[in-house]
Structure formats: structure tokens, C-alpha cells
């Protein structure tokens, strides 16, 4: 069992194991480690602090209730929480019921994002890749991701054919992957 203030070096896996045994201190440590990620994503999508706080609360409560939803052998905690937070924030933005159970969301990242230094390095490269993207492609990706617009809504907004929008979304994502793999 972890103490109330787990060491910063405690691995995500150890925290999750402690949380699975009902350790509230471990939950606090996990929150301290990842709340900024969850909150930042939610704030970017919702543009409003109170709504972002609700998503923050919701994501961590879901995790507390069902820590088994995160499969540590496959995924990366930071990436997984970021995806869950984005999805919940979009659900809140569109005022719809959550579409996914958190355990149905498997996320695979091939980069080490555990330490803040790793994350910060990776993010610099991702931001660089986004900046280097042709503006229409970046904008389609951001509309789909941060505004939760469907491809047909984006096509309606930009006046581009549906097929082009679809292609741009996928190509944009693959480009990110390629940049990081390089």
C-alpha cells in the first residue's frame, strides 16, 4: 500500500495497482500527475473553466470507479487520459450522452510520455509538425478534433468535398505519426 504522498517516481503501474485496491492517496498522486493534461484538453475544447472542471472531475471519478479500464500493458496513461478527456469534453460540448465506456478506448502510443520532460520533448515535435502542415489540413484536423465537427459539418463549413475532408483528416494524423517516428 502506498503512503498518502507517493513518491513522484512511483510508476503509473504502481499507482494504478494501488488505486485498484482502493488507495485514495494513490488517486491523489495520479491526479497531481495528470490533472493538467486532462484539464488542458477539456479547456481547449470547451473554452470555459467551469465546464472543463466538470470534465476533469468526471474523468477522474470514472477512473476511480473503474481503474481496470486502463490497460497498462498496452497503453500509456497520459495519452489515454488525454483521449478520454477529449472525448468527454466533446460530449459535453455537443450536449450528448457519453458515447464510449472508458474501458472501450484502447490507445497505443509508441513514445515514452511518462515523465514531463518526455512529454514536453514530444509535444515540441508535434507542435512543429502541426505548424509545418498546410493550413487547410491543420484546420480540418483541429475542427474535427477540438470542435468535434463531423466530416460533413466540416465540408459544409469549408466548402470542400466530403472526400477531401476525410482524406485530409487521415493524412494529417499519419503525418503526425511519421514526424514522431522519424
Partner 1 sequence: MNVHEQFAEDLALYALGALDDAERQKLEEHLEACASCRRELELLRGDLSLLALTTAGAKPPARARQRLMSAIAAEPRLPVGAPAPERRQRAWWTASGWPALGWAMAVALVLVGIGLLRQNSTLHQNLASLRAQFADQGSQLEQASQTVATLLDPEAMKIELVAVGNKPQPRGKAIYQRRNGNLIFFASNLPPLPAEKIYELWLFPANGGAPIAAGLFKPDARGSATVVNPPLPEAVEAKNFAVTLEPESGSHESPRGTPVIVGVGE
Three-state DSSP at 115 gives: coil
Cβ(149)–Cβ(143) under 8 Å?
A: yes
The CA R_g of the chain, rounded to the nearest whole Å, is 17
Q: Which of 56, 93, 102, 133 binds partner 1 (CB under 8 A)?
A: 56
**How far apart, in Å, are the Cα atoms of 170 and each of 23, 25, 124, 164, 174?**
41, 40, 21, 10, 6
- The reply on whether position 70 binds partner 1 by CB under 8 A is no
- The reply on whether position 52 binds partner 1 by CB under 8 A is yes
Q: Look at phi and psi of residue 142 and say left if phi exceeds 0, alpha if psi is from -120 to 50, else beta.
A: alpha
Minimum distance, C-beta of residue 74 to partner 1, in the bound complex (Å): 8
Angle between helices 162-181 and 135-146 (to 10 degrees): 100
Residue closest to 102 by CA, chosen among 70, 73, 54, 145: 70
Report 116-155 residues binding partner 1 (CB under 8 A).
119, 122-123, 126-127, 130, 141, 144-145, 148-151
Q: Which of 2, 12, 15, 86 binds partner 1 (CB under 8 A)?
A: 86
Q: Which of 5, 22, 47, 115 binds partner 1 (CB under 8 A)?
A: 22
Binding residues vs partner 1 (CB under 8 A): 20-22, 24, 27-28, 31-32, 35-37, 39-41, 43-44, 49, 52-53, 56-57, 60-61, 64-65, 67-68, 74, 76, 78-80, 82-83, 85-87, 90, 99-100, 105-110, 113, 119, 122-123, 126-127, 130, 141, 144-145, 148-151, 166-167, 169-170, 173-174, 176-177, 180
Amino acid at each position: 500500500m502506498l503512503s498518502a504522498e507517493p513518491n513522484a517516481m512511483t510508476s503509473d503501474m504502481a499507482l494504478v495497482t494501488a488505486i485498484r485496491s482502493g488507495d485514495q492517496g494513490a488517486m491523489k498522486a495520479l491526479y497531481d500527475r495528470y490533472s493538467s493534461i486532462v484539464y488542458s484538453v477539456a479547456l481547449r475544447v470547451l473554452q470555459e473553466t467551469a465546464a472543463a472542471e466538470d470534465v476533469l472531475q468526471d474523468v477522474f471519478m470514472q477512473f476511480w470507479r473503474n481503474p481496470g479500464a486502463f490497460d497498462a500493458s498496452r497503453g500509456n496513461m497520459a495519452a489515454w487520459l488525454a483521449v478520454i478527456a477529449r472525448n468527454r469534453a466533446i460530449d459535453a460540448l455537443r450536449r450528448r450522452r457519453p458515447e464510449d465506456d472508458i474501458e472501450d478506448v484502447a490507445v497505443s502510443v509508441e513514445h515514452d510520455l511518462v515523465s514531463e520532460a518526455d512529454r514536453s520533448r514530444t509535444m515540441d515535435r508535434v507542435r512543429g509538425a502541426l505548424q509545418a502542415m498546410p493550413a487547410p489540413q491543420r484546420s480540418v484536423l483541429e475542427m474535427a478534433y477540438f470542435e468535434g465537427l463531423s466530416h460533413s459539418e466540416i465540408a459544409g463549413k469549408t466548402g470542400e468535398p466530403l472526400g477531401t475532408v476525410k482524406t485530409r483528416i487521415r493524412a494529417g494524423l499519419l503525418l503526425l505519426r511519421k514526424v514522431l517516428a522519424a
